[in-house]
Structure 1
Amino acid sequence: MASVSKVEGKWRALIRRKGHKPISKRFDTKAKALEWARGIESQIDAGQVPAVAGRDTVADLIREYRRLRSLARPILDTSSEHYTLRQLDADLGGLVAAAMSVDDLLGWAQQRKDEGAGPYTVNCDLSKLGTVLRYAGRGLPDVIGAARPKLSYLGLIGGGGKRERRPTEDELARLVAWLAEQRGQVFADVMMFAVFTAMRRGEIARIVWSDVDPQKRMVLVRDRKDPRKKVGNDQWVPLLPAAWELLQLQPREEGEPRIFPRDPQTFSKYFRQACVALGIPDLHMHDLRHEGTSRLFEDGFPIQEVALVTGHRDWRHLRRYTQLKPEIVHARGTRPST
């Protein structure tokens, strides 16, 4: 049976069942404590919270998930998945996995929103949390599935959608100046490298000096994003003049193999801060990939050459990147006929 008592101004629900370790959680009101306790007891009765769930925290399961992945598909320290797991550990690691509630996830999602994360990013993080609970835990209740309807209704999670936002030249110049002065030249360089190469932030953070071919002016991007192949999708990417020149300006740090040795989440964090400080609305760092791809089309590169730079295997996905500026069409229309 569950017991509810007042402890230090909060109502604590405590559930004790034979074969299970005690599970407890504190609430602001007695009604919420009773509601939570009834829900957990129902899950225990249905066999959804077996004894093996015990007192494992979310942090415990994240560690176990990393261990399991290391047996077949290790998580690279420079991968976006590594940073997502690290963020989840920091935000939710202290919670007992079997006792994690819908309210816990609502509060976490609101916190992520307040930090600047959009609905799509939170949705991706939530999905990763669900993967951890499924593969590293055993018999845990589906709290992710239970929380999704409310999170979606509140607009805290959502699909990625198709963005067409492109920065103006003035916005880019202001962002470069602010980042260089306020956060360091490397962050300004990363921003423009994203434009010049159409690379994702994680790809920029992963490239290393030893994978640069100076003769062919190419760089090997390892484990490039591909829904059909999670590991081993390595691609040689040609670096056009602006990208090559920017790469050559980067200092080499002793003992550091990476060209841009920074956390990719920090790239986005500082980019958001710059946009807020400068009053630049509705611009995300990933929009720079869109900008870079659009520039390639505007410069006259055929789709197959654009795909070599961006890494798209399915050329149909490139259609949404081809919002050419009207003045480009006029410029081409005034070319002399032969």
Structure 2
Amino acid sequence: MGTITARKRKDGSTGFTAQIVRKKGGAIVWREAKTFDTKREANSWMVFREDELDKPGALDRVTAGRTTLADAIDLYVKERKEIGRTKAQCLRSIKKYKIASMDCSAIKSSDIAAFARELLAGGRKPQTVGNYVSHLSAVFKDARVLWDIPLDYQAMRDAQAALTRQETISKSAKRDRRPSLSELDLLMQYFVERQARAPQSAPMHKIIAFALFSTRRQEEVTTLKWADLDEQHSRILVRDMKHPGQKKGNDVWVELPPEALAIIKSMPRKNPEIFPYTTDAIGAAFTRACQFLGINTEQMPDEDRLHFHDLRHEGVSRLFEMGRTIPLAASVSGHRSWASLKRYTDIRQTGDKYENWKWLPVVTDTV
């Protein structure tokens, strides 16, 4: 049982100090005290705090040493079997902020809100801030249950709700950026010339065209294997296809449009992977080319910049422009629902604008 001691302050008022002591084997292992203006407040805090300390494992946690948010992030990243590159990078960057050095047990909704405002003040958009907070929320959700780290998930949820109302965070806007034929001409010319100068470099002209015609994501392009190609039926098995409800084992057979299959057949069978290159190399080459060619500029807002993933948008939209039905388009893209495909139905013309495309013979030529 704790004690309450009344002490006169210098200003003549009385302060009431509540003190809690816990012992093990006759030795004091925990002591804390807090002073209040009234005895009633002191007693209320003491009863509440003692109830907290009497919960199973509570005393062990407070005496085990200080666990910071950075520690919790490290543990989450280490023990999580599957974590995306973007999420891992985001969590690593959070460790540079003040909140990461705080004791997990001390982090309140207001601290999370302050972190979000700090991100916003640094020039990030509400959508980006929302992504940071969402990734951090995953750490809060698992920390107490899995590792007995006292992160308050309800405090995180309260902060997210308030930040959304204040428009400090928001969901990412759906992109509708698609490459133009003139932009693709620039990219193709650039990478064909690069391939001639450096034959051992990744054949980016082929990879770009394949991503467009096959509608495959960048990570999927690099993991496709010859052993999973069913050339007779013009299809291929995409292993661990991205899906919010199934991170692992979501292996999906997808149809290969004629152009995509022709590009695959033009690749040499030297490795298990059809395109044996890293996502980092492909992403960096695409980003540098877009900047060099003036397709993207530093002053350009992100929604106007061309991303590699926009090739998938172009490929799926092309299928609808060619008159494909939803099930037929999904058989190529791998989407499970109409809701997921709706964003791609921004039909800008009818027919196939890639019919007789001048670069098709180039990208299907044997390496």
| TM-score, normalised via structure 1 length | 0.63
Q: Does structure 1 residue 262 correspond to structure 2 residue 273?
A: no
SS at match of 1:300: coil
Cα distance change, pair 47–226 in 1 and its aligned pair in 2 (3 A): same
Do the aligned residues in 2 keep the contact of 1:204 with 1:260 (CA within 8 Å)?
no
Query: 5+ unaligned residues in a row in structure 1: which ranges?
Result: 1-17, 21-44, 76-80, 330-338
Between 1:317-326 and 1:167-176, the stretch displaced more is 317-326
Cα distance change, pair 298–152 in 1 and its aligned pair in 2 (3 A): same
Q: Does structure 1 residue 277 correspond to structure 2 residue 292?
A: yes
Which residue of structure 1 lines up, in the alignment, with residue 138 of structure 2?
131
Which residue of structure 2 lines up, in the alignment, with residue 84 of structure 1?
86
Do the aligned residues in 1 keep the contact of 2:133 with 2:160 (CA within 8 Å)?
no
Distance in 2 (alpha carbons) for counterparts of 1:310 and 1:200: 9
The aligned runs of 1:59-138 (5 Å cut-off) are: 60-66=71-77, 68-69=79-80, 74-75=81-82, 81-93=83-95, 95-96=100-101, 98=103, 101-102=111-112, 103-107=114-118, 113=124, 120=127, 123-137=130-144, 138=149
Kindly provide the CA deviation profile for residues 288-334 of structure 1, in whole angstroms up to 9, marking residues without a partner as x.
222101111222322211111111222344333222224649xxxxx
Distance in 1 (alpha carbons) for counterparts of 2:178 and 2:289: 16
Do the aligned residues in 1 keep the contact of 2:224 with 2:238 (CA within 8 Å)?
yes
Do the aligned residues in 1 keep the contact of 2:224 with 2:274 (CA within 8 Å)?
yes
Distance in 1 (alpha carbons) for counterparts of 2:336 and 2:205: 29
Distance apart, 1:47 and its partner CA? 6.9
| TM-score, normalised via structure 2 length | 0.59
Kindly provide the CA deviation profile for residues 173-229 of structure 1, in whole angstroms up to 9, marking residues without a partner as x.
213344563995444433322211112223223323332223333221122233443
Q: Tell which structure's C-alpha radius of gyration is larger.
A: 2
Q: Does structure 1 residue 176 correspond to structure 2 residue 181?
A: no
Aligned residues: 274
Distance in 2 (alpha carbons) for counterparts of 1:19 and 1:176: 68
Cα distance change, pair 230–51 in 1 and its aligned pair in 2 (3 A): same
Distance apart, 1:172 and its partner CA? 1.4
Cα distance change, pair 188–146 in 1 and its aligned pair in 2 (3 A): farther
Aligned-residue identity in percent:
32
Cα distance change, pair 234–120 in 1 and its aligned pair in 2 (3 A): farther
Distance in 2 (alpha carbons) for counterparts of 1:197 and 1:121: 29
Kindly provide the CA deviation profile for residues 245-287 of structure 1, in whole angstroms up to 9, marking residues without a partner as x.
2223445565x647343136x6455544433333334333332
Do the aligned residues in 1 keep the contact of 2:322 with 2:351 (CA within 8 Å)?
no
Distance in 2 (alpha carbons) for counterparts of 1:119 and 1:268: 25
Higher relative contact order (CA 8 A, sep 6+): 1
Cα distance change, pair 278–231 in 1 and its aligned pair in 2 (3 A): same
Q: Does structure 1 residue 302 correspond to structure 2 residue 302?
A: no
Query: Considering only aligned residues, what root-mean-square deviation do their CA atoms show, in Å?
Result: 4.2
Query: 5+ unaligned residues in a row in structure 2: which ranges?
Result: 1-28, 32-48, 296-303, 353-367
Distance apart, 1:171 and its partner CA? 0.8
